[in-house]
Homo-oligomer: A and B are copies of this chain.
Amino acid sequence: MNVMTNPAALDVAPLDVGRIRQDFPILTQTIRGKPLVFLDSAASAQKPRVVIDAMVHAMETQYANVHRGLHWMSERTTEAYEAARDAVAELMNANDRSEVVFVRNSTEAINLLAHSYGRGVLKRGQAVVISGMEHHSNIVPWQLLRDAHGIELRVAPITDAGELDMAAFEALLEDGKVGLVAITHMSNVLGSITPAERIVRIAHAHGAKVMFDGSQAIVHRKIDVRALGCDFYVWTGHKLYGPTGIGVLWGKRDLLERMPPFLGGGDMISSVTYEQSTWAAVPHKFEAGTPAILEGIGLKAAVDYVRAVGYDAMAAHEASLTEHALSRLAAVDGLRVLGQAQDRGGVISFTLDKAHAHDVATLLDRQGIAVRAGHHCAEPLMHRFNLDSTARASFGIYTTHAEIDALADGLIRVREFFK
């Protein structure tokens, strides 16, 4: 299986995982007397020292509410918070910092879009296309839009290998009714990476805008929104080694400008009278109320950290981990990996015969190994494969090959135990 590019071929210095691990204080913890083997980064990643320190530094030395203060603390806090916008704009190669809207998480970003683009720009009778491997957060907001606003919801099927069925996808767009394609850039269950540029080309050729749910992809791949050519891109800070409580909606400026606001309140207005209010310019139009200030500051530290490590090195490391994991897991009796996409990231879902996924997770936890089990907020995808749940191991920059060996050995024990 061709798992991304071979690290050697990328000509990047291999990641010094030992050094990286020293940046994450939590990794020295033990669980039930065993060293922590944290293989649940796709659910939420651990936080490096620099993120913790940035938040502490703000709370200890310069904190106040932002944007409206004329005093020193407020000025400094505003600078620090707005610097996060610059960092994110640069990370994603946005045209302009004003294209970066801060939200709580991917879920809120998609809801914002479903509300402001869905109700504000799409017209009754138009359709939204999602795929058969979406997270609930990229399903439910469109269902709510469908039910409240008469927008049709179409689902592009996936193949048995867990890839988007491109012919079927294109067919869904043929009648020209599709106004927006909202598709994951990387599945949180299968690890599959979708062909973003092709999706954009096809969608644009049929007059549809494209949003990618990059919640997983941003952790594994350098995202260049201009190169992708997409119209919206969303992700969530806590998976990119940042704090909870902050996420990103990136959108092309002219589209953001055409969208009505989502939440109303302080900071998003230009002027307010009882009769009528007018809105601030983007991105502030979409950021009502006191923002997640400390979280923005933490996110900036995370973005800086990730850029310092380098996406090439991260991607190479994860490709190598994934390759190793797939080959070790293949040797576990009765284990079946879900999805065999050609292009995939470091997320592997599997089932074990004779043992239910929850029992697998608990028995691995007993050995200090953290994996997730359940439907992974992707019930329709589970049903597509006639499953209720799988176990899932997912990797971060701090994951080692030895941890994958521990997982494989642990699974062999589980299997023996349930024999």
Contacts and interface: CB of A to CB of B under 8 A. Distances in A.
B73 A140 contact: no
**How many residues of A sit at the interface, in one of the four size bands?**
35 or more
Given A139-B274, A245-B104, A40 B26 contact: no
A91 B31 CA distance: 33
Contacts of A32: 72
Contacts of A277: 136, 139-140, 143
A379 B63 CA distance: 25
A44 B65 contact: yes
Interface stretch (A158-166, A258-266, A310-318): A258-266
B63 A40 contact: no
A140 B155 CA distance: 36
Contacts of A144: 261, 264
Contact of A274 (B43, B153, B246): B153
A72 B379 contact: no
Copies of this chain assembled into the complex: 2
A402 B127 CA distance: 64
A135 interface: yes
Interface of A: 25-26, 29, 31-32, 36, 38, 40, 43-44, 46-47, 51-52, 55-56, 59-65, 68-74, 104-108, 110-111, 114, 135-141, 143-144, 153, 155, 236, 238, 243-246, 261, 263-269, 271-274, 276-277, 288-295, 358, 361-362, 364-365, 369-374, 377, 379-380, 383
Given A72-B365, A104-B245, A110-B265, A290 B238 contact: yes
A375 to B, nearest CB: 9
Nearest to A290: B105
B43 A63 contact: no
29 contacts: A25-B61, A31-B72, A43-B69, A46-B59, A46-B63, A47-B59, A52-B56, A52-B59, A65-B238, A69-B372, A70-B361, A71-B361, A71-B364, A72-B370, A107-B266, A107-B290, A110-B265, A111-B264, A138-B265, A139-B264, A140-B269, A141-B264, A238-B290, A238-B293, A244-B245, A244-B291, A245-B246, A245-B295, A273-B380
With a 10 A CB-CB cut-off, give which of A51, A71, A245 has the most chain B CB atoms: A71
A264 B64 contact: no
